[in-house]
Amino acid sequence: MTDAGQREATARLADRTRSLERSKIRVMFGLAEGADRDLVRLEVGEPDFGTPDHIIDAAAEAAHDGATQYTENAGIPPLREAISETMARESGVEYDPEQITVKNGAMEALSLSMMALAGPGDEVVVPTPAWPNYVNQVQLAGATPVEVPLPAESGFDLDAERVAGKIGPDTAAVILTSPSNPTGQVYDEEAVSKVAEVAEANDAYVIADEVYGRLTYDDEFRGTASYVDSPENVLTVDSCSKTYAMTGWRLGWLAGPQEVVDAVTSIGESTTACTSAVSQQAALAALTGPQEPVAEMKAAFAERRDFVVEKVAAMPVVSCPRPEGAFYAFLDVTDLPGGSFEIAKRLLRDYGVVTAPGDGFGDAGEGYLRISFANSLDRIEEGLDRIEEMVRAETE
């Protein structure tokens, strides 16, 4: 199509399509795809393990037994029951099964929550660096994302004063992601409580994205709604994706105040109605079956986390905050020439390592590269060796 033709075609699209920024992680993924050389892929945000066999078997059996049709919009009752029990056991948060709605991944749960809570004139506060989808989700809902850059000096800790300072009468929600993608930070409970208090005083909900909650390496994880003063003001989002290596099954959920959960279920009726019946059976098997595979994957991630931290500490110029959870390390490469995106592209072109540029996670991430340690120790070592080679070549 000619440029003019392309312009005319896009002019017919709704304005909201123009506000969307393409994720830089996907751009890097695109640049890497199809390359016929030995690339080390450290940009990927999903476990490198397969879904445990007993989950796959349960799903196949369920499909043969008739789990092939629509289900209740909020998910089948035994699954909502299992989610309620798992959340109480694993992160200490109490939600009745009726307060849970099952959706197509945390992604859909978040996206529908944004539509339920925020519209034109509303603001959603997003401390950054953060998973880039939030900003697009807020914009698609017609609301305004308000990024709050967290301080790099303290490893991107949740700075309660800074975040609270951006909460006001127009704030519909504040998104807190702990453990964080991309930094691996687990937020300090006191800081979260402070933010939650200010949010409540301004009639704004706290959206606690806890998809990495079961992947913490130092301390037991406690869900936000288990310790803040007003748990009824917290929406908790979680999924099977990262915990059970089930990204492709698209199974997540929202738990929260009844009116919000009902609104999300009701809006979801116009998008997908319910999530796949087979995936719901798979999730049921995941949550109620043996949890050893989760412990094994977590142990592997913990070992890799330690390896990455040690290896980065031995590099000249580069450093990273110690990830306390998730499977990402956020490397400070501010001493290399150019911005993160240029550095990431150079690293790919000249050294064959694919990373996610930090500015893709908000302005606060400029000067950083996110690497994922959802890869084998060998490949992580190879990738970090190549990064070190580039750092030495460019700085010595």
Residues binding ligand PLP (CB under 6 A): 45, 105-107, 131, 177, 181, 209, 211, 239, 241, 247, 252
* Three-class SS state of 371: strand
Helix ranges, the chain (H): 3-11, 24-32, 53-64, 77-91, 105-117, 133-140, 160-164, 189-201, 258-268, 277-288, 292-313, 340-351, 377-395
166 in Cβ contact with 78 (< 8 Å): no
Tracing tokens 């060998």 back to the chain, one arrives at 378
Q: How far is 342 from 333, CA to CA, in rounded Å?
A: 11
For strand 252-255 and strand 234-239, is the pairing parallel, antiparallel, or unpaired? antiparallel
Cα–Cα distances in angstroms (integers) from residue 173 to residues 53, 58, 124, 207, 309, in the given order:
39, 38, 5, 7, 34
Name which of 133 and 266 has its Cβ closer to ligand PLP.
Answer: 133
* Residues with Cβ within 8 Å of residue 327, at least 6 apart in sequence: 47, 184, 212, 215, 242, 301, 304, 305, 372, 373, 374
264: exposed, middle or buried (C-beta count within 10 Å: 0-12, 13-18, 19+)? buried
Name which of 247 and 272 has its Cβ closer to ligand PLP.
Answer: 247
Cβ of residue 293: shortest distance to ligand PLP, in angstroms?
A: 18
Name which of 239 and 276 has its Cβ closer to ligand PLP.
Answer: 239
Cβ of residue 251: shortest distance to ligand PLP, in angstroms?
A: 7
118 in Cβ contact with 95 (< 8 Å): no
Cβ of residue 106: shortest distance to ligand PLP, in angstroms?
A: 3
Name which of 44 and 277 has its Cβ closer to ligand PLP.
Answer: 44
Name which of 301 and 388 has its Cβ closer to ligand PLP.
Answer: 301
Name which of 130 and 160 has its Cβ closer to ligand PLP.
Answer: 130
Cβ of residue 144: shortest distance to ligand PLP, in angstroms?
A: 20
Cα–Cα distances in angstroms (integers) from residue 233 to residues 141, 170, 188, 224, 274, in the given order:
20, 16, 19, 10, 25
Name which of 105 and 127 has its Cβ closer to ligand PLP.
Answer: 105
Comparing every residue's Cβ against ligand PLP, the nearest one is 105
